[in-house]
Structure 1
Amino acid sequence: MTSAPSILDTFFEECEDLIVALTEGLTEMREGEADDETVNAVFRSVHSIKGAAGAFSLDELVGFAHKFETVLDELRAHRLKTDDNLLRVLQRAGDVLADLVEAARDNIPANRDQVDPVLNELQSFLGDADDEHEEEFVFEAMALDFGAQPVQAGYRVSFKPNHEFYACGHDPLLILKALCALGPAQITVDCDALPDDFAAYDWEGGYLRWVVEIDDLGNDLGILEIFQFVDDLCELSVTPREDDAEPQDEIAPAPAAPPEIVVVNDPAPTPAPATAPTPDSVPQTAIPKADSKPAKRSATSLRVDPERVDRLINAVGELIINQSVISQRLEKAKLPNSSELFADLDDYKLLAREIQEGVMAIRAQPVKPLFQRMLRIAREAADGTGKDVALLTDGENTEVDKTVVERLADPLTHMIRNAIDHGIESPAQRKAVGKPAQGVLSLTARQRSGSIVIEIADDGAGLNRKRIHEIAIKKGLVAGDAVLSEQEIDQLLFAPGFSTAAEVTNLSGRGVGMDVVKTAITALGGRVAIASMPGKGTTFSITLPLTLAVMDGMIINVGGQTMVVPISSILESIRPNAADLSRIGLNGELLRIRGEYVPIIDLADRLGQPRDGRSMTERVLLLIQTEAVPQCALAVDDIYDQRQVVVKSMLGNYGAIAGISGATILGDGKIALIIDPDAIAQNARPLNYEEEPAHVAAG
């Protein structure tokens, strides 16, 4: 194996981070919250992608990034006016740049139908101004000719490393040498911040500030490249230096001897960052001083092969199983509760839990990149339908298992496209009903208990339940005389082949979108709920487990078999009295709780196990909430314990089983099946009456 593929993989991994920074900056610019530093950060992201892509001869990516970078350079020099049209094109350019990175990573040709229109729009902002930039990117080894050139301005660089700079192992001497290689330079160091008391000295503290005067530079790109990986780890200011010296005929090469370093203890001659330069003395290309905007703090990161993390997670799973085995054996030994072994076991449990949470945190990642991708999907959908839609996001830093994030992309894409295509009205329709012309689509994420809840809400027309019911009858999905509740009608949207679109478009109409959504979310162990108000909008709520490897479960006995019910689905456990039970039909029973009737599902009967003959008053009811019904009660024989279990997939080892989502290994070495409450409750029907119906006989 050669080293080239690994280097290329590293490039694409770094591109992901740069694309995220680019998207954040463009979003701030579009929302009017950006300053010059934001524009510079966006410019640096594109410039970094272009420079690294050139080293791998990714010509299409380099060419587009160069045009994109040139427009940004004109913008940060204030030679272009910032308006809605320019910001729209820049956002589209950011999307295309991300596409080109993906195409280069997958080694497939770029889609010229998407690239060329954006290139033309970028060029329209440049006109003839792009000619002077055409020779900037030539990625080949070449000798630099320092012959007669026009007089160029110098730059003053002021930077002060902070604690993180040193903690990451960076050496300011290397940066100083790199700056000196750009041209004749003089370095000044300010030691005024050094503490007087040696005992208070922090060896990783950022006390020193360096000021580097560099002569004869045409622009600041070389300086920015030197600082591109540490600019958020130091206070940095790069400003053009006023030079009254006579013009020189040649640019002298970098001196072989090290430059003179002058120690300054007097704070009086503080360089440019201490005082704000006047607009006439500093061009608009200058980077704002560091203290004008809080510096982003960056934590060090370590890239690890996902397979290594998976092996570690499996090892932790075995540790949890082993802890259960020891616990069960101690119980069988009938040792006195005062035994020190029980105290040691409690410590073992806490340690195992802490290790498990730490390992899961390694796989956890924020949903921010996913949400940023959805921003792009929303823009494309809005452009395709001719609608004006603002997408708002909240909870982007909510963390969830990496696998869950990856497998959420397709469901969210379908839901956002449907919300814009079907939910949000056209500008004319919105104005006609007194709404703003611009629709609003919000995407939020939050943690709740052991789950993550993602909501997609629009302020559109809401669901047309009458039409949904009519289409379902026409397609044969429900009987013509069926009486359905609002929630049951809403669930028809997830039926295979269901679609309310009048015609097939690029966005919808083939009847596969929402079915795919439910299938994907159910496969992740989650559920989706719908809330809609006519004329007000619709909200889809997706509830998912934080991780797919370990969960908290209730250990139960069903027909003599030990099984597990996910804690996240259980609302409460109930020992019913005879007055709480009612009969319905021949064998059906209802539980009356807080003025409502909920169906009781005999779990043993549903799974094909023989009934033990006990009445419901002798059994335990688990009140659960699923997407199929608001509430239902699972009748089980006994509850043993609540514990953390390791989830093992059934698909690779056995196959799909109706009503079973997976399996686990208990402390005694036995295998216990994990119940899928949504599948079990699928055929249950909710009955919500304030008073007991006439056809229901008291139990």
Structure 2
Amino acid sequence: MSDQNDPMADIRASFFVECEELLEALQDGLGSLDDGVGDSETINVVFRAVHSIKGGAGAFGLEHLVRFAHRYETVLDEVRSNGLTPDHENVKLFFRAADHLSDLVRASRDGLTVPQDAGDALLAELDAMLGTPAETDEASAQVEFTPLGIGIDLGDLDAPFDAGSAPSTRWSIRFQPRAELYETGNEPQILLRNLARLGTADVTCDVGALPLLLELSPETPHLAWTIALDADVSEAEIREVFEFVDGLCDLEVSLALYDDNTASTAERPPAADVNAPAGVTLPQPDTAPQDMPAPPPARRAAEPPARSVVRVDLERIERLVNLVGELVINQAMLAQSLVSAGLSPHSDAMNGLEEFQRLTRDIQDSVMMIRAQPVKSLFQRMSRIVREASAAVGKEVRLVTDGEATEVDKTVIERLADPLTHMIRNAVDHGLEPGADRVSAGKSAEGTVRLSAAHRSGRVIIELSDDGGGINRPRVLQIARTKGLIPPEASLSDTEIDNLLFLPGFSTAESVSNLSGRGVGMDVVRTAIQQLGGRISIQSESGQGTTFTISLPLTLAVLDGMVVDVAGETMVLPLNVVVETLSLGPDDVQMLRPGAELVRVRGGFVPLYDLGAMLGYRSRRTDYTGCIVLLISLDDGNRAALVIDGIEDQRQVVIKGLDDSFFRAPGIAAATILGDGQIALILDPADVIAGCLVPLPVDARLPDRSSKEERLEHG
């Protein structure tokens, strides 16, 4: 049956979306425990995440997932009851179990077959933590029909009752599971055990509805439990124990009070008779006073109103983004038409256009917020990469993250996973020294990889750093010469040597391993970053470590741009990098050397670049008097100046990705459609300023703005 005809398909899809959220909460909780800042509530969050995944998996018959989650949950329940200590070694095992649980969830979602023995080694380690032999499928399949006690310590029944130490509140609870409770993998024993932790519990199993063995239906539940709970707790706290099975059972909670000063053994509700069968309480005479006033209704703890969340298919959001892009283009075309018609700026039509522009921007901002997501999920995936890579090379490595709440376009997040994976594996394998070498260098034996994200100058800056030995530049230079990547006589600066790491086929690994050594990695990283309209740079200090900085646009859909004229061609620069505009005088430009000029700005000098010449549209200017210059801010805080021929407009533009058949010129980020229907290229100023653009060959010239028939696709 196809998913279109399956009524459970939508529910199943929602379950796996919820699993992603639960796995995220699980990773957060384990991270807090590993950092030593977790408390009892953190342990409860971890337990609930695994428990909820197990319950949902049981509803869909995902037996392999239920089996692993059940054993994992059992160990976490022991941590909740203080039977196990969540120390560093135990949490490392919990992380590995969480990784395997994540694999099982994704395999179940994608319909992949999981080997039957997958995870058996982890299960054996989890069982060893409890000091119990590993469970087998045959053992778990055995059913015990004799009602048993829950194992709750009721104390010495012959000891005199101490009224002064007893709670003043007694709760009467009736709990009867439905068939759905067992189908979702829940267990009454765990629920009753958690309930008993609230106080002193007297649990009675009601077997009155149990039929004869020949009439017994395994799918129909017949047992119920009655619990007398002595605890100074609220009804809300009691119901919280059963929150995972809400709607899967019949639950009645009632309140009865007894006076501390007059309570006696006879007045106290009876405990189980020691001579009665296990789990059964014999009837006792009713000695409660008949004129006891009705108990006041229990007050529920005030809860903040829950936020409503609607899950929407990503394809619908993408369609909405595309429609907003078309709206921006049509708004620009309308503005162009009204200006061409010569209407007064104070006319009703122009006033209406201004309101239309404001509404268009608000809609665009709102849609971008819908598609923006925190990088937290991406960083959590990198935590697993660090664990696996460190285990593969035998190093102790710790990942520290910062700025997980930084939001970026969902498309950017998805396409960043592979580049970051390459970079982290390189940091663990090449960047960090072995433990013994670190100790001899006065460092901690455990290496640190730091991953951070932040918004800066309208872009997302992601930094990946390690505290290793830094780049061995002499060795890098020697390898590059040996492989013929650079001429033997080439003299390179430190920055140029660092950039050799991005050359295809370059590798410093002495042997091929599971992580590196095949010469594929950093060149793929740079290509992937450039395809996102971003750039990557390296900073390294010998003995201190290396930092990779990735600069990315906030969104791949719409940006605020400055439309400029360059040698008769219309181009767009991101507005957030433009600091100011200047008009050059005869004494403002100083020649440093032939082909390298500086422009004086407020007593200082910044490098000057002729944009038209670098793009190959014209030869280099010899006189810059009267030229218009854009002062550009770089990610590192430095500035530079771009010479243009004119400023046409400032507007929102829709980013359109160039088709793969186009010549890929460095520094050309994308293209856009202007209000008059013409095409303009969107520049990446940092590549231009870095001198990445060179005069292009005749057969690879950039398309001019009259090329209306060029093939474009939505970015």
Question: Aligned residue for 1:405?
Answer: 413
Matched, 1:662 2:670: yes
Q: 2:5 aligns with which of 2, 6, 10?
A: 2
From 55, 58, 62, the equivalent of 2:59 is 55
- Is the contact made by 1:527 and 1:626 (CA closer than 8 Å) also made in structure 2? no
Say which of 575, 583, 597 aligns to 1:590: 597
Query: Helix, strand or coil for the counterpart of 2:461?
Result: strand
* 8 Å contact kept, 2:582–2:631: yes
Q: Using a 3 Å threshold, how does the CA distance of structure 1 residues 187 and 211 change in structure 2: closer, same or farther?
A: farther
Matched, 1:117 2:137: no
Change beyond 3 A, Cα 1:509–1:145: closer
CA 1:476–1:263: 2 relative to 1, 3 Å: farther
Report the Cα distance in structure 2 between the residues aligned to 1:243 and 1:419, rounded to whole angstroms. 66
Deviates more, 1:322-331 or 1:545-554: 322-331
Letter in 1 for 2:597: L
Does residue 504 (structure 1) correspond to residue 530 (structure 2)? The answer is no
| SS class of match (2:657) | coil
Q: TM-score, normalised by structure 2?
A: 0.73
The alpha-carbon distance between structure 1 residues 317 and 685, as it changes in their structure 2 partners (threshold 3 A), is closer
Larger Rg: 2
SS of alignment partner, residue 440 of structure 1: strand
Q: Is the CA contact 1:148–1:249 (under 8 Å) kept in the aligned structure 2?
A: no
Give 1:147 shift: 6.4
CA deviation vs aligned residue, 1:68-93 (integer Å, no higher than 9, x gap): 11211222222223332211111111
Match of 1:26 among 14, 23, 30: 30
Distance in 2, matches of 1:416 and 1:425, equals 14
2:141 & 2:56 partners in 1: Cα distance?
Answer: 11
What is the one-letter code of the residue matched to 2:341? Answer: A
Give me the whole-angstrom Cα distance separating, in 1, the residues matched to 2:322 and 2:661. 16
**Who is 1:80 aligned against?**
84
Q: Residue in 2 aligned with 1:224?
A: 244
Tell me how far 1:485 sits from its aligned partner: 2.2
Judge conservation of contact 1:648–1:664 (CA < 8 Å) in 2. Answer: yes
Equivalent in the alignment of 1:200: none
Counterpart position of 2:447: 439
1:262-305 alpha-carbon deviations (Å, 9 max, x no partner):
975488xx89xxxxxxxxxxxxxxxxxx99xxx99863211111
Relative to 1, partners in 2 of residues 1:10 and 1:684: Cα closer, same or farther, differing over 3 Å?
closer
Please give the alpha-carbon distance, in whole angstroms, between the structure 1 residues aligned to 2:49 and 2:315. Answer: 30
Change (3 A) 1:375 1:145: closer
Change (3 A) 1:78 1:490: same
1:374 correspondence with 2:382? yes
- The equivalences for 1:519-530 within 5 A come to 519-530=527-538
Q: Assess if the C-alpha contact under 8 Å between 1:421 and 1:507 holds in 2.
A: yes
Deviating more after overlay: 35-44 vs 146-155: 146-155
In structure 2, the CA distance between the partners of 1:93 and 1:152, relative to structure 1 (3 Å rule), is closer
Per-residue deviation, 1:463: 1.6
- In 2, the alpha carbon distance for the partners of 1:629 and 1:449 equals 10
Q: Using a 3 Å threshold, how does the CA distance of structure 1 residues 609 and 396 change in structure 2: closer, same or farther?
A: same
Q: Aligned runs of 1:195-274 on 2, under 5 Å? A: 210=235, 224-226=244-246, 244-247=270-273, 264-265=295-296
Alpha carbons of structure 1 residues 414 and 244: separation in structure 2 relative to 1, 3 Å: farther
How far is 1:245 from its partner? 2.8
| C-alpha deviation, 1:413, in angstroms | 1.0
- CA shift at 1:669, angstroms? 2.2
Q: Secondary structure at the match of 2:411?
A: helix
1:671 paired with 2:679, answer: yes
Amino acid at match of 1:530: I
Taking a change above 3 Å as real, the CA distance of residues 39 and 612 of structure 1, as seen in their structure-2 partners, is: closer
Contact 2:329 2:673 in 1 (8 A): yes
Cα distance in 2 between the residues matched to 1:482 and 1:119:
57
Structure 2 match to 1:430: 438
| Residue range with higher mean Cα deviation, 328-337 or 625-634 | 625-634
Secondary structure in structure 1 of the residue aligned to 2:452 = strand
- Letter of the structure 1 residue corresponding to residue 394 of structure 2: G
Q: Which residue of 2 aligns with 1:150?
A: 149
Equivalent of residue 521 in structure 2, options 513, 519, 534: 513
Alignment equivalent of 2:552, drawn from 532, 544, 551: 544
Offset of 1:522 from its aligned partner? 0.6
Asked whether the equivalents of residues 527 and 627 of structure 1 are also in contact (C-alpha less than 8 Å), the reply is no
Q: Secondary structure at the match of 1:47?
A: helix
Q: 1:134 to 1:634 in 2, by over 3 A?
A: farther
Q: 2:382–2:420: 8 Å Cα contact kept in structure 1?
A: yes
Instruction: Kindly indicate whether residue 360 of structure 2 is the aligned counterpart of residue 360 of structure 1.
Output: no
In the TM superposition, 1:608-687 aligns within 5 A as 608-610=616-618, 615-624=623-632, 633-651=641-659, 656=664, 659-677=667-685, 680=688, 683=691
Q: Which amino acid aligns with 2:79?
A: L
- Equivalent residues of 1:70, 1:133 under 8 A apart: no
**Mean Cα displacement is larger for which, 616-625 or 639-648?**
616-625
- Cα drift, residue 149 of structure 1: 3.7
Q: 1:626 to 1:137 in 2, by over 3 A?
A: farther
Cα deviation for residue 37 of structure 1 reads 2.2
In percent, how many aligned pairs have the same letter? Answer: 46
Aligned length: 592
Q: What letter matches 1:486 in structure 2?
A: D
Partner Cα distance (2:549, 2:238) in 1:
57
CA distance in 2, matches of 1:479, 1:569: 36
1:486 and 1:296 map into 2 onto residues whose CA distance is 56
Query: Is 2:18 the partner of 1:14?
Result: yes
TM-score, normalising length: structure 1: 0.75
Question: Which sections of structure 1, spanning at least 5 residues, go unmatched?
Answer: 139-143, 159-178, 189-208, 215-219, 229-241, 253-261, 272-289, 687-699
2-structure distance, mates of 1:492, 1:654: 26
Q: Following superposition of structure 1 onto structure 2, how do residues 307-346 of structure 1 map, counting pairs within 5 Å?
A: 307-346=315-354
* SS at structure 2 position matched to 1:128: coil
Q: Distance in 1 between matches of 2:241 and 2:543?
A: 53
Checking the alignment, whether the CA contact within 8 Å between 1:628 and 1:678 is kept in structure 2 is: no
Q: Could you report, residue by residue, the CA deviation over 1:65-121 in whole angstroms, capped at 9, with x for unpaired residues?
A: 122112112222222233322111111111111111122222223367862332221
Q: How far is 1:24 from its partner?
A: 1.0
Deviates most, 577-586 or 550-559: 577-586
Query: 1:416 corresponds to which residue?
Result: 424
Unaligned ranges ≥5, structure 2:
155-169, 174-194, 196-205, 207-220, 249-267, 281-292, 695-715
On the 8 A contact 2:124/2:134 being kept in 1, the answer is no
Note closer, same or farther for the CA distance 1:382–1:152 as it changes in structure 2 (3 Å cut).
closer
Measured on the aligned residues, the alpha-carbon RMSD in Å equals 4.0
Whether the 8 Å contact between 2:58 and 2:66 is mirrored in structure 1 is: yes
Q: Structure 2: how far apart are the matches of 1:98 and 1:322?
A: 45
The one-character-per-residue Cα deviations of 1:143-168 (angstroms, maximum 9, x if unpaired) are x998644367699699xxxxxxxxxx
Structure 1 letter corresponding to 2:421: T
8 Å Cα contact 2:656/2:670 also seen in 1: yes
Kept in 2: contact 1:629–1:682 (CA 8 A):
no
- 1:191 equivalent in structure 2: none
Deviation at 1:185, TM superposition (A): 6.6
Q: What is the CA-CA distance between 1:657 and the residue it aligns to?
A: 5.5
Q: Distance in 2 between matches of 1:684 and 1:531?
A: 19
* Aligned partner of 2:574 among 561, 566, 571: 566
SS of corresponding position for 1:579: coil
How far apart are the structure 2 equivalents of 1:627 and 1:484?
23
2:467 aligned with 1:459: yes
CA contact (8 A) 1:497 1:511 kept: yes
Q: Conserved in 2, the CA contact under 8 Å of 1:157 and 1:212?
A: no
Amino acid at match of 2:442: G
Q: Whole-Å Cα distance in 2 between the matches of residues 110 and 132 of structure 1?
A: 18
Q: Secondary structure at the match of 1:507?
A: coil
Change (3 A) 1:251 1:592: same
Give the drift of 1:481: 2.5
The answer (yes or no) to whether the contact 1:12–1:101 under 8 Å persists in 2 is yes
Name the SS of the counterpart of 2:454 in structure 1: strand
| Corresponding residue number in structure 2 for 1:104 | 108
Deviation at 1:583, TM superposition (A): 5.2
* Distance change >3 Å, CA 120–CA 482, structure 1 → 2: same
Change (3 A) 1:613 1:452: closer
